[in-house]
Amino acid sequence: MPKLYIETYGCQMNVNDTEVIFSILAGAGYERTEEIGEADVIMANTCSVRDNAEQRIWGRVEQFHARRAAKPGLLVGIVGCMAERLKDALLDSGKVDLVAGPDAYRRLPALLAAAGPGHPQIDVELSREETYAEIRPVRIDKNGVSAFISIMRGCNNVCSYCVVPYTRGVERSREPSTIVREACDVFRRGYREVTLLGQNVDSYCWKDGDQRVDFARLLEMVAQVSPELRVRFATSNPQDISDEVLYTMARHENICKHIHLPVQSGSDRMLEKMRRRYTRAGYLERVAKIREILPGCGLTTDVIAGFCSETEEDHALTLSLFEEVGFDTAFMFQYSERPGTLAARRYPDDVPPETKTRRLNEIIALQNRLSLESYRADVGKRFSVLVEGPSKRNPDELCGRASNNKMCVFPDRIHKPGDYVDVLVTDCTSATLLCELA
Ligand code: SAH
Ligand code: SF4
Ligand code: F3S
């Protein structure tokens, strides 16, 4: 059986897509390997969201090419979000045998069968329907506790900085019964947590005749699989997260109390230019509502420093918004212009790199303090933790997340991955709650 090795870059959706690819190619006789040296097919499932992500992958293409030179017959494929944007450059390089976009994975067996020296194969067509609905992903996670389930693909927003709508196409929702079936299936196999994935989960919508399932309803359906199955989701967009979703979270103990709510900027002028469909005040109203309906709910965000024409005043507004909200953690980036996006076409990328970096560092420094404050506020509290496995630092300790998504570590030699454990928080760092069994 030919052996298939896949490296995955980018977001959780890409990880889930890699699981779908393994499943499709297993059906065509390919066997998964984690050893690149024994692979007959090497793939990189790629990310285009920022320039440094792409640069890393170009580096890998060189290394794969060197392997191919040493092992005739070895096939190298580039799949995922870089495929559409860089198909020509990839094929022209002569270093890859296959380029396939995120909606072409069902055709991978045929593409691989046709690929060979001098016959590179390409399929970057995006689809309006493909959701890989009935495919049962081959789980590649290590812990066997937490699984990711894609509930939709693509994105219909047009945030001006973002390449995702171009790499992944229009938004499509997956049929709810297949999502629930997948959740039941992983639960039966011992998983105790599922994370429902979409670029904008709140716009999930499935219509069939007069039946309509929105995200709140879908959440409820998945939560009802078992009270022992935790449900998480990402990502929520501030303009779309409804009170109904918040009330659904409140009604179900097993829907984790954590919302990832990317803000991107604290300045209305920037938000408008980014084509985000909310204002600073609108964002803060959503945060207030979350805290009213879901006291103690974890809140995390994404932010971009140095977007086109950002001034010191705009930047100060981001800092003040961070201070006002007090996120638990944040993914913080400096703006990276993406060819083809609205921002690249319309706005000069005019914030000097050193200014971007300085602003990013100011946000990071502030967030470090806010994280510590947020984690400290949990010292003395009790949480139910889903054990994921031994702690990375100390094999005598276990780790797992509280409902609010904060990582907890605690001395324990008895429990095992997948168990729920009650802990008391005794101390913390800015990224971990240090606990003892309660
Ligand atoms: N759908 C999600 C996130 C998609 S990409 C959302 O709407 O929030 C993940 C994060 O990457 C974004 O939230 C944004 O903070 C960051 N990002 C996207 N494009 C970027 C770019 N061109 N430069 C820097 N960061 C970017
Ligand atoms: Fe990109 Fe905006 Fe869609 Fe998120 S919502 S994937 S940032 S276009
Ligand atoms: Fe994800 Fe990167 Fe694509 S963030 S959707 S893998 S561009």
CA distance 337 to 345: 10
Tell me the percentage of the chain whose pLDDT exceeds 70.
100
Mean pLDDT across the chain, nearest whole number? 96
pLDDT at 85: 86
Verify whether ligand 2 is closer than 6 Å to residue 248 (CB atom).
no
Whether the full predicted model's pTM is greater than 0.75, yes or no, is yes
Task: Tell me the mean pLDDT in the region 232-256.
Answer: 97
Ligand nearest to the CA of 234: 1
pLDDT digits (tens, 9 = 90+) for 144-187: 999 999 999 999 999 999 999 999 999 999 999 999 999 999 99
Q: Among 47, 157, 274, 338, which is best to mutate for testing ligand 2, by the most ligand atoms less than 8 A from CB?
A: 157
Q: State how far the alpha carbon of 42 is from the alpha carbons of 60, 138, 375, in Å.
A: 11, 17, 41
Tell me the percentage of the chain whose pLDDT exceeds 90.
95
Ligand 3 atom closest to the CA of 13, numbered from 1:
1
Residue 427 main-chain phi, psi, to 5 deg: -165, 175
Verify whether ligand 2 is closer than 6 Å to residue 222 (CB atom).
no
pLDDT digits (tens, 9 = 90+) for 247-294: 999 999 999 999 999 999 999 999 999 999 999 999 999 999 999 999
pLDDT digits (tens, 9 = 90+) for 335-372: 999 999 999 999 999 999 999 999 999 999 999 999 99
Q: Which pLDDT band holds residue 71 (cuts at 50, 70, 90)?
A: very high
Q: Whose CA is nearest to atom 5 of ligand 3?
A: 164
Q: Which residue has the higher pLDDT, 223 or 395?
A: 223
pLDDT digits (tens, 9 = 90+) for 319-332: 999 999 999 999 99
Closest to 205 (Cα-Cα) out of 245, 164, 176: 176
CA distance 336 to 331: 14
Q: Whose CA is nearest to atom 10 of ligand 1?
A: 302
Q: Among 6, 9, 11, which is best to mutate for testing ligand 3, by the most ligand atoms less than 8 A from CB?
A: 11
Bridge partners, residue 284, by sequence:
none
Ligand 3 atom closest to the CA of 48, numbered from 1:
7
Ligand 1 atom closest to the CA of 341, numbered from 1:
22
List domains and CATH numbers for the chain: 3-123 (3.40.50.12160), 141-256 (3.30.750.210), 262-375 (3.30.750.200), 382-437 (2.40.50.140)
Overall size of the chain counted in residues: 438
Decide if 28 contacts 135 (C-beta within 8 A).
no
pLDDT at 117: 87
Verify whether ligand 3 is closer than 6 Å to residue 14 (CB atom).
yes
Decide if 110 contacts 123 (C-beta within 8 A).
no
Q: Among 270, 304, 338, which is best to mutate for testing ligand 1, by the most ligand atoms less than 8 A from CB?
A: 304
Verify whether ligand 2 is closer than 6 Å to residue 200 (CB atom).
yes
Question: Which pair of structure tokens corresponds to residue 336?
Answer: 């990276």
142 pLDDT more than 80: no
pLDDT digits (tens, 9 = 90+) for 104-133: 999 999 999 999 988 999 999 999 999 999
CA 285 centroid distance within chain: 25
Verify whether ligand 1 is closer than 6 Å to residue 262 (CB atom).
yes
Q: State how far the alpha carbon of 13 is from the alpha carbons of 81, 173, 393, 435, in Å.
A: 11, 14, 28, 31
CA 84 centroid distance within chain: 20
Q: Among 49, 235, 236, which is best to mutate for testing ligand 1, by the most ligand atoms less than 8 A from CB?
A: 49
pLDDT at 106: 98
Q: Whose CA is nearest to atom 1 of ligand 2?
A: 162
Distance (Å) from CA 421 to ligand 3 centroid: 34
Q: State how far the alpha carbon of 334 is from the alpha carbons of 55, 130, 386, in Å.
A: 16, 32, 34
CA distance 357 to 374: 25
Q: Which pLDDT band holds residue 143 (cuts at 50, 70, 90)?
A: confident
395 pLDDT more than 90: no
Decide if 215 contacts 202 (C-beta within 8 A).
yes
Verify whether ligand 3 is closer than 6 Å to residue 306 (CB atom).
no
Distance (Å) from CA 260 to ligand 3 centroid: 16
pLDDT at 103: 98
